[in-house]
Structures are given as structure tokens and as C-alpha cells.
Amino acid sequence: MEFAPLPLEFYSQTSLQLAEQLIGKLLIKETDEGIAAGFIVETEAYAGPEDRAAHSYNNRRTARTEVMFGPAGYIYTYQMHTHCLVNVVAATVDVPQAVLIRGVEPYIGIDLMKRRRGESKTDRELTNGPGKLCKALGITMGDYGHCVIEKPLWISEGRTFSDVATGPRIGIPNSGEAKDYPWRFYVSGHPNVSKG
DNA sequence: TGAACGATTTGT
DNA sequence: CAAATCGTTCAA
């Protein structure tokens, strides 16, 4: 197969390491409407019990966060207001870490993405945000708990980006000192990175 | 620039 | 039951 899934072992590292490693990888979603995929250009690491910005802070375990306590390489989808955000579980069993996908570069199925997001959207507007890329790729709460090494939603080797920068995470102003941790990774100057 | 949207979880 | 949240869109 052309876009072979990465091995499950790849995800068994800390969320910080995984967030950096995921830059450039290809995120693929296949539905009955067709196939859509994009290169990951922006991620954020959430480090579990000690990270005040994480849903799993202080080992908070609910129906929503349950999947983060399982093995690495599973999808953690989370609904915020009217939108769906997608994370990949990192680390190992009982260590609730995850990496948020915040931006991708459209690669396959751009016409399908435009149909989902609105025909008037530019390629940049299609996927330059965590909720936007979920809608463009057709990722929903139905993908919660899915294993990322098999269809219809998986990640394969992609492209290499040379200019990867780090900075504070976005949208967590009320998380004490955790809001300043440089746990956001992004391709510098890339159009599909959120919040220029 | 600002308000509406509304699933899940926490705090009164 | 009220408020806050890893966000996006539309209206002025």
C-alpha cells in the first residue's frame, strides 16, 4: 500500500516528543464520500497529570478522557462548542498524554474538503485550525477511540519540513503557568498554521 | 471587534 | 442549575 500506517510503537513516546515527530506526517481519513488527507504542520503537546491545560490534569478520568489512559496510538476526539477537535494518544497505559492536531496542509481530496467546508474557502482557510481540519477531513466524534494504524483513519510517513518552530500553546489563557510552556510545534511561515 | 453556538465537566 | 472550555462563523 502506498500510504502505509506508521507502526504502533511510534506513538509510545512522551507527548512532547510525539508532537515534534508528527510534524510532516500524513493524516488520512477515508469515508464513503472519498478519501482526504493532509500533511500535519501544527501540533500541541498535552502532558497529563502535571499539565494544568490538559483535560487529564491531576489524572482526571471521565468518559471523555478515558481513552488517554489506554495505550498510545488511539484517537481522542473532543467536542468544543459546535466543533470537533482531534488528538492522538501518546505515552503508555495509565499515562494520560496526548497530542492535539492544529493544522494540516491539504494534499489529497481537496475538492472533497471544499465541499465540506464551503466552496468559497481558500486552501489556506480549509485546514488552518483544529476544528476546521476535522470538518475538512470528515473527522467526527464517531472516530473517538479508533486505532490510528488502520482504516478509515490513519497516519503515514509524509514530508520533511526543515523549519519547525516552537512556542506557547493557543487558547488556554486560564491555565496558570502552563499557558507559557513552549509545547506548540509548527512549520514556520506555513499558510495552514493557525493564527499567523 | 464581538456575540452566538451548545457537549461535557466542574463548581455553587 | 450556572459557569467555563485545547474554536469558528457571522454580523456590524
pLDDT tens readout for residues A59-98 = 999 999 999 999 999 999 999 999 999 999 999 999 999 9
The set of cell numbers assigned to A75 is 484517537
Give nearest nucleotide to A60 (CA–C1'): B9
| pLDDT (0 to 100) of residue A2 | 77
**pTM here?**
0.96
- Identify whether the C-beta of residue A127 lies closer than 8 Å to the C-beta of residue A193: no
Chain A residues 124 to 163 with C-beta below 7 Å from nucleic strand B: 141
Please say if the pLDDT value at position A43 is more than 90: yes
A196 pLDDT higher than 90: no
User: Beta carbon of A64 within 7 Å of strand B?
Assistant: yes
Q: For residue A138, is pLDDT > 80?
A: yes
Smallest CA–C1' distance to C9, residue: A82
pLDDT at A195: 81
CB A105 within 8 A of CB A127: yes
Report yes or no: A106 and A51 within 8 Å, Cβ to Cβ: no
Q: How far is CA A2 from CA A5, A28, A40, A154, in A?
A: 9, 12, 18, 13
Report the alpha-carbon distance of residue A132 to residue A107 in Å, rounded.
15
Instruction: Decide: CB of A192 under 7 A of nucleic strand C.
Output: no
Q: How far apart are CA A39 and CA A75, in angstroms?
A: 17
A41, A103 Cβ separation under 8 angstroms: yes
Asked if residue A104 keeps its beta carbon closer than 7 A to nucleic acid strand C, the reply is no
Q: Any atom of strand C under 7 A from CB of A82? A: yes
